[in-house]
Chain A
């Protein structure tokens, strides 16, 4: 019974790296997708203060973006919206702010996913940076309309750090789908 020959167009960058094009990947498990989203939510809610708060990326947006690009059947605009609502409640900000931003992020991911997947990992990070900056700007826009002062250029630090983490997150989240070494030798 064919499990599906899924082709991932990612370059080979070493033994701990993304899958090479000729490697056959196992399908993603739904429980793993949910677990990674939950860990992203917890990482976002982890209490930090001071400098770390400026530089901390939006982990949940990063994980969400990865799954929207790689598995659009599992995670789409609706799932992203619900996840954004949970983030809003955890963050105690205005209800619907992150929901809107993540829904737009998911749509952007769906629109650009084939284009993004054709590039090597570090160039993907550049395109992912654009999407994450868009997500952060939507959050900023909602707060502007609510009457907040402009935060300065430091606000863009967190999406850019998130884009820098994109290759690592990509490889980590793809690891369960790669078959064991002995399996691929066959």
Chain B
């Protein structure tokens, strides 16, 4: 049994944004065990007040450099709900396509650049350039593919341009879509090699199970990445759906004394969002090729090991490629044209949600008669995961003590746990009470 440990990790590395781990163990007793978030607050909900509806998504996109596409999509969907705008089928498909690009992009980065060094016993990807040149080159190729895929639809991936309220401000040509299809098909060997690498490293994924509630968007048609109702699944498989407008009743944000970060919970003491939550909720809707990979990697619903989130991400990148090939065929067959933007039919309030790489994202706005934003609220996936990470810590630390782990081993296990959630802390910009003015 470990008797004494003093762990203090200021600014966990290989995550987006700033988070700290603090654990004190004395005489085998856990005195302190905290996941802390010292990120500089940024006040986006205040910033968008007084801005025109056409600008709001361009501002909220800047909440996050990794999920900029997701924040843009959640924002335009919310604005469209508030202004009574229904976009065309073509716009919907382009948005689904860029959603897959973002999911693929972010997961490729997380699996290969942020997590792989842990599984290969390296401090970062840079030493791997010498020792695992093929793995690094493949990761960079896949990352570049994702960048070109998203940029073709959105203009760029960090703060995309073409996604605007009312539709798409620009669309690629059929010829460009055909070229993207070829690129995706050409990437299949790289994708298969990436799956094989993760499969080989799977025994290095720590064994730790903590059943919790899993929350994700869900619909009857597809995997629910772009749109759906809120769905919860419990460890026993019980599912329940909620309207997106009821997000406050599901997220139940609350403040706890040991953390400045706002916590969320629904049916249990905490819930998880992200790839594993989507996998557990929507496994039935996964593309057959992705299901095959899930089987190969030994993951099945309901998976309760949070470290397996990274494996669920691997399953999702396979799904992203095959679902996008389907969308590309549909768009190419229908023929693409630049459509005029759908104008507002009313001015009022609305809620919107989409799945971003780290989980379910909610935006809510209200607009005045001039189309200027009056108020805003954003509930971000990483914020929804903070409480679940803390609960994982509470259960994992005593287990590590029991297993007689050294301080260094404990520290690595906790860092790896945090990293497995792929937290995006600069996103989770509001931690305490949010005032909402209608």
Q: Do A and B bind each other?
A: no
